[in-house]
């Protein structure tokens, strides 16, 4: 699986958009970009994933650059409950269970 690079930490004011970048310059054509988050002392939670196109769901938006070498997760209106470690993961989905390899992630702190 391709390696990802994320900033160690970021701060965001409550109510503002949180934009979390991820670099995956060695991604291959059939690898997906997944985002998970982990709130302190809990198991990770799926947020969103994409292959080439931008994606949006009720939690977030995922913007993938045209060359697919980087992406940005956008939380449109961050709340205190969004404080967590956010993991960007690149994984080959082969139709069966995808083995996810977690990097160090970005620790997002949402403040009042």
Partner 1 sequence: GAVVSQHPSWVICKSGTSVKIECRSLDFQATTMFWYRQFPKQSLMLMATSNEGSKATYEQGVEKDKFLINHASLTLSTLTVTSAHPEDSSFYICSADRGLTTGELFFGEGSRLTVL
Helix (H) or strand (E) holding 91: strand 84-92
Q: Which residue, among 89, 91, 100, 74, has the nearest Cα to 21 in the 3D structure? A: 74
**What single-letter DSSP state applies at residue 42?**
S
**Binders of partner 1 among 61-80, rule CB under 8 A?**
none
Q: Is 21 in the site for partner 1 (CB under 8 A)?
A: no
Q: Is 43 in the site for partner 1 (CB under 8 A)?
A: yes
Cβ at position 16, least distance to partner 1 in Å: 26
Q: Is 41 in the site for partner 1 (CB under 8 A)?
A: yes
Chain residues binding partner 1 by CB under 8 A are 32, 34, 38, 41-46, 49, 87, 91, 93, 95-105
């Amino acid at each position: 699986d391709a390696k990802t690079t994320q900033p160690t930490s970021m701060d965001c004011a409550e109510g503002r958009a949180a934009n979390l970048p991820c670099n995956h310059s060695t991604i291959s054509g059939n690898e997906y970009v997944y985002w998970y988050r982990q709130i302190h002392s809990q198991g990770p939670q799926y947020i969103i994933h994409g292959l080439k196109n931008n994606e949006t769901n009720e939690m977030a938006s995922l913007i993938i650059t045209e060359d697919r070498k980087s992406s940005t997760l956008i939380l449109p209106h961050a709340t205190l409950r969004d404080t967590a470690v956010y993991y960007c993961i690149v994984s080959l989905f082969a139709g069966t269970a995808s083995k996810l390899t977690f990097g160090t992630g970005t620790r997002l702190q949402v403040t009042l």
